[in-house]
Amino acid sequence: MRIAANTVIIDEKSYTNHVVEFEDCHLLHHYPLTEELPYTQWYRTLIIKNGQLIQSQRP
Protein backbone atom coordinates (compact mmCIF):
# COMPACT_ATOMS: atom_id res chain seq x y z
CA MET A 1 0.00 0.00 0.00
CA ARG A 2 1.31 3.46 -0.90
CA ILE A 3 0.16 6.54 1.02
CA ALA A 4 1.11 10.18 0.51
CA ALA A 5 0.51 12.74 3.24
CA ASN A 6 1.04 16.40 3.95
CA THR A 7 2.65 15.50 7.27
CA VAL A 8 4.32 12.20 8.13
CA ILE A 9 5.79 11.61 11.58
CA ILE A 10 8.10 8.60 11.82
CA ASP A 11 9.52 7.86 15.27
CA GLU A 12 9.31 11.54 16.33
CA LYS A 13 10.84 12.91 13.09
CA SER A 14 8.49 15.00 10.95
CA TYR A 15 8.39 15.10 7.14
CA THR A 16 6.33 17.35 4.85
CA ASN A 17 4.78 16.08 1.60
CA HIS A 18 6.07 12.56 1.98
CA VAL A 19 5.24 9.08 0.66
CA VAL A 20 5.26 5.89 2.73
CA GLU A 21 4.93 2.32 1.51
CA PHE A 22 3.60 -0.51 3.67
CA GLU A 23 3.47 -4.26 3.25
CA ASP A 24 1.51 -6.36 5.74
CA CYS A 25 1.13 -3.26 7.94
CA HIS A 26 4.93 -2.76 8.21
CA LEU A 27 6.77 0.27 6.86
CA LEU A 28 8.95 -0.65 3.88
CA HIS A 29 10.05 2.71 2.44
CA HIS A 30 9.51 6.42 2.83
CA TYR A 31 10.61 9.24 0.54
CA PRO A 32 9.71 12.81 -0.44
CA LEU A 33 6.74 13.34 -2.73
CA THR A 34 8.15 14.82 -5.95
CA GLU A 35 5.39 13.95 -8.42
CA GLU A 36 1.89 12.53 -8.51
CA LEU A 37 2.04 8.75 -8.16
CA PRO A 38 -0.57 6.26 -9.43
CA TYR A 39 -2.42 4.04 -6.96
CA THR A 40 -1.61 6.32 -4.04
CA GLN A 41 -3.99 7.05 -1.16
CA TRP A 42 -3.93 10.60 0.20
CA TYR A 43 -3.98 11.52 3.87
CA ARG A 44 -3.50 14.71 5.82
CA THR A 45 -1.34 13.24 8.60
CA LEU A 46 0.31 9.88 9.35
CA ILE A 47 2.04 8.88 12.57
CA ILE A 48 4.30 5.84 12.40
CA LYS A 49 6.12 4.35 15.37
CA ASN A 50 8.47 1.36 15.25
CA GLY A 51 7.46 0.69 11.64
CA GLN A 52 3.73 0.51 12.46
CA LEU A 53 1.04 2.99 11.45
CA ILE A 54 -0.51 4.13 14.72
CA GLN A 55 -2.63 7.10 13.64
CA SER A 56 -3.91 8.62 10.41
CA GLN A 57 -6.07 11.55 9.44
CA ARG A 58 -7.78 11.72 6.08
CA PRO A 59 -8.49 15.07 4.41
Separation CA 6–CA 28 (nearest Å): 19
Residue 15 has pLDDT above 90, yes or no: yes
DSSP 1-59: -EEEEEEEEETTEEEEEEEEEEETTEEEEEEE--S--TT-EEEEEEEEETTEEEEEE--
Separation CA 57–CA 36 (nearest Å): 20
pLDDT band at 57 (very low <50, low <70, confident <90, very high): confident
Q: For residue range 19-52, what is the model confidence (pLDDT) as tens digits?
A: 999 998 899 999 999 999 999 999 999 999 999 9
pLDDT band at 59 (very low <50, low <70, confident <90, very high): confident
So what's the pLDDT on residue 58?
86
